[in-house]
Structure 1
Amino acid sequence: MIYQMKVGLKGMSPPVWRRFQLDGNMTFVDFHHVLQVAFDWEDSHLHSFMMLRSGGEKTKVEIGPVEDRENMVFPFFSFHDFYEEQEERICDWFMAEKDRAIYTYDFGADWEHEIVLEKILKPELDVHYPYCLKAMKLAPEEDSWAMDASIREKDWRELTEEINLKLKTLEIGLLDSANPDDEFDWLELLEEAKSFNKLKPWELLEDDQLFIVADWESRQFLYCSVLGAGGEEYGLAVYVGNTGLQALKSTLSGDSTRDIFLKQRSLLLSFVDRDELDAADYDLLKQHGMSFRGRKQWVQMRSLVPGYYPWHVDEDEGRMLLVAIEQAKEMLKEVERGLTIPSYSGGNTFFGRMMQETEEGYEWQSVHIQLKEEKLKQDDKPSLHISELDMKRLEKMQVLHTSIIFDFVMIDKPIQDSPFERPYFPTLIVALDVEHGLVLYQEVLKSLNVKEEIQKAFLKLTEQLGGIPKAMTGKKDTAISLAPVTDQLPITINTVEKIHAIDELRDAMSRMPW
């Protein structure tokens, strides 16, 4: 796995720091070499690591070179355990987000680097690890002291590029990103996809003839639609869970394709032309010896997650897609034997595949599935996300004789913070004065926790206005998210299907360079 670390040089103002992604199997001695390169040290002094938090628990363990301790002029005894850096791996000690260590270089100057594990990720194709995502400010010069050190400026993009060029020269055990070490059999998925294509399922089913697959492992229903009867897009669309079904229902009810695209939760298997593949698509096929000829034959797989740009499927999504394809092939056999799958019009009754207990154990069977209405609720009742103290302050505020429009939308222009992170669609929260149409408040957020952020934004708005508006208009989702706050206030809530002024503002922001 890939470990994303932020490493900051303590005691420096403005901050001097680096953000890395590196192989968790890397030893601490290799990590030492990475840090030497990243901070432009010369490796001419002693060093050590001190683990302060491991696996979410406080600890105090030193990891370093045995020869450094043996060669000290004044040896010392420590009251904590010591481990050899050549033997210990990053993943042995950094096991949970926010695990923390201090790397000390030059025991005379005591340059301390705080290391924090930010996240653990799956490896990406065509990435040379270790990789520096961002580097801010040059480190002090070798053999300088903190009291004399001055911060040296350099454009962060140029600095980051220089560090990555140096990292590529390190002779350490690098993860082969083209062959990530995982348990999922991608070749089996690709072969099943190829087999599914040969069946030409679109000659048997229309895209509105929906069937269901009960995924045993994720405990979710997969709502499957064969694509291709229209002669344009060929493949299998798999809507995942209640979120996917709600998006499908929105499509059928005539909601705009733009909004549905931003809220979709699905997996998409497509058969496309060669020029429609990107580099990662092609590398996956090439890595597993898969090649195709002709139009609409090449396998492409995409994951759609609300708030994010369509991306390559991960292992768990690949497993779900494999289950869906295997059971879709079984459904096709049923159709060939005379089964009629009705066109879906929004009801809760489906025909599909589910694991059933038999005398010989569990096995897949074709069954009718009636979903209970209470199981189809997309969201639980939202909770209060501002403090009780803030809520009491709101209750004491005066009611203003003003009406506002208050809502949020996703801006359909993806932002990618780093080359290896999935691009996301930022959320725009905005408040408008109903009478004059003036913008009273706006905020653009990366956070996808809209229920929490919309409540915080409403609190900021009231503080800015100096009171509570007497009436507020917004879409249903916004009203639901705000209900724990507004239900306790003397404010009239009006819900509408569409707010043209906010859509126009979103269109304007979508055209802006980011």
Structure 2
Amino acid sequence: MILLHIESKKKPEIYRKLLLPKNSSFSMLDEIILLSFELDGADYFNIEIVIKDGRASKEKICFSPKNVTDLDTDEELVDEWLRESGDEAVGHVIDNSESFTIRLESIEDLPKNSETPICIAGASNIHTGKMDMINLEEINKLIREVEEADSLLENLEPDYLSLLELTNDLKKLKPWQYLRDDEVVVIHFEDVDYKVFVSVIGAGGEEFGLMIFDLELGYASLAKILYEKNLTSNFFYGLNALTVSFVDREELEQADYQLIKDCGLSYRGKKNWIQFRSYLEGTHPERPNYLEVELLINVVSRMINITEARKYGWEYPQLAAHQYPTFKVQKDSGLQEIYILQIDIPKPTYECYEEISMFEKAKYKKKPKSALQLEYDLFYMPFGVESEETIRTVYPISCMLVERGSNLVIEHEMLKRHQLHKACYGHFYKA
């Protein structure tokens, strides 16, 4: 277990001590911090690593859903970044002014075999700032309830029959006759303030279906498809999306065919068989889970409405780049007013270095110059491997350092656990 001391930066006497299982992700950590400080309704953290391996660090990891270009995977592991006692991070809650120091105190052996985070100590109320007694029992009850709810969702059977029937209704409308793949629409579920982008595939007459992108995790994938001309061959290894595909019978995997059969359904003809996939960056595409199926049911239902609206006269508007027509959806009602969603793409930032002195320049000039030409490369391996650290099959990332003059491989390593590319550069930083 990892023992963390979490302390309010504004009110240092307000703190919590948390025991987290090893291999806990930052997404779990921010959820547990919000629960243990009773910050109901708060959003995710922006997390900056301040001290790593006992030294000041400039590395940053970001979980801000509003910053799509700098969004790290929510499966980054805490113990990959906080590794020595005293290592620190600063977490800023995005939708309010609270900030916390997150400090690794130690790696604990107790309690053994625990898979649930535990709050073992704390002081004061963050809302009042007073030295109130905290109720550890109540905090841990909240944590257990969230963990149990997550576990329950994992075991619920997705309603594939309803999804297949709805998707078959959409197929009969042939939405690709009314919307091109670049005429992307946004469906805004207003009651939960959740947005997805939907692209209809099929106007080209080869592949048919839908691609659905979450605003926070998936927009970077959609933007690459829409605005980058030359996508790399391994683009789909880094895709974050849900897909609905109409394929030939022989294109189905056996499990897909069995699912359709188990639901008492069957289809005839070319491009009539229905297949669903969940894509998550660096992992093998899988059939959607319970929550993803619920989302697909809602999205397919709304796309039937949108296709019918287009069929009977709605025109796709003329828009600038990164603008999309958005259909509001309220609970227990149909589509509401349309507005234009503008996605603000932040300009790239560049790290600045202090200017070196003339004396230092002179010293470097005297040093013998190396003829080495080094090239560092990262690429996904084209096969999946099972890992205990994630419930999905992952594509390993291979890291390679090559001397271009001789094509000699100086260093090579394969990472079994999926990591973002920028996290991998540290493996060869000292090579």
Q: Which category of TM-score, normalised to the shorter sequence, fits these structures?
A: 0.5 to 0.7
Match of 2:300?
A: 325
Select the residue among 165, 176, 185 that pairs with 1:202: 176
Q: Give the alignment partner of residue 264 of structure 1, picking from 229, 239, 243.
A: 239
- SS of match in other structure, 1:294: coil
- Residue 219 (structure 2) aligned to one of 245, 248, 261: 245
Q: Residue in 1 aligned with 2:289?
A: 314
- 1:469-488 to structure 2, matched below 5 A, reads none
2 CA distance for matches of 1:244 and 1:54? 30
- The whole-number CA distance in structure 2 between the counterparts of 1:280 and 1:378 is 44
Q: Does 1:225 align with 2:195?
A: no
- TM-superposed deviation, 1:304: 1.3
| Alignment-mate amino acid for residue 283 of structure 1 | Q
Q: Which residue of 1 aligns with 2:336?
A: 365
CA separation of 1:403/1:256 partners in 2, compared to 1, >3 Å: closer, same or farther? same
Task: Measure, in 1, the Cα distance between the counterparts of 2:192 and 2:418.
Answer: 22
Give the Cα separation in 2 of the matches to 1:399 and 1:251: 46
Tell me which of 164, 183, 198 is aligned to 1:190.
Answer: 164
Answering whether residue 349 of structure 2 is matched by residue 349 of structure 1, we say no
Q: CA RMSD in A?
A: 3.9
Matched letter for residue 419 of structure 2: N
CA distance in 1, matches of 2:419, 2:411: 19
Which residue is equivalent to 1:438?
Answer: 408
Corresponding residue for residue 302 of structure 1 = 277
Relative distance call for 1:457 and 1:371 in structure 2 (3 A) is same
Distance, in Å, in 2 between the alignment partners of 1:265 and 1:316 is 15
SS at match of 1:327: helix
Q: Work out the number of aligned pairs and report it.
A: 278
Q: Per-residue displacement from partner, 1:35-55 (whole Å, max 9, x unpaired)?
A: xxxxxxxxxxxxxxx986474
For 1:212-263, what per-residue CA distance to the aligned partner results, in whole angstroms no more than 9, with x for missing partners?
1124587553221112222222211212335433223323322235232111
Q: Among residues 226, 229, 242, which one is paired with 1:254 in the alignment?
A: 229
Distance 1:273 1:326 in 2: 23
Q: TM-score if structure 1 supplies the norm length?
A: 0.47
Give the counterpart of 2:185 among 191, 202, 211. Answer: 211
Q: Is 1:336 matched with 2:307?
A: no
Give the match for residue 252 of structure 2.
Answer: 277
The answer to whether the Cα contact below 8 Å between 2:387 and 2:416 also exists between their aligned partners in 1 is: no
Instruction: Kindly provide the amino acid, as one letter, of the partner of residue 224 in structure 1.
Output: V
Once residues 322 and 378 of structure 1 are traced to their aligned partners in structure 2, the CA distance between those partners, rounded to angstroms, is: 36
Check conservation: 2:377, 2:401, Cα contact below 8 A: yes
Which whole-Å CA distance do the structure 2 matches of 1:422 and 1:55 have between them? 20
The aligned amino acid for 1:439 is V
Partner-residue secondary structure (3-state), 1:258: coil
Using a 3 Å threshold, how does the CA distance of structure 1 residues 446 and 400 change in structure 2: closer, same or farther? farther
CA separation in 2, counterparts of 1:232 and 1:430?
37
Contact 2:381 2:397 in 1 (8 A): yes
Larger radius of gyration: 1
Percent sequence identity over aligned pairs: 26
CA distance in 2, matches of 1:234, 1:353: 23
- In structure 2, the residue matched to 1:293 is 268
How do 1:65-214 residues align onto structure 2 when only pairs under 5 Å count? 181-182=156-157, 184-214=158-188
3-state SS of paired residue (1:290): coil
SS at match of 2:426: helix
Gaps of 5+ in 1: 1-49, 60-93, 98-118, 124-179, 383-397, 462-514
TM-superposed deviation, 1:363: 6.1
For structure 2, list consecutive stretches of 5 or more residues without a partner in the other structure: 1-110, 121-143, 352-366
What letter is aligned with 1:370? L
Assess if the C-alpha contact under 8 Å between 1:208 and 1:343 holds in 2.
no
Q: TM-score normalised to the size of structure 2? A: 0.55
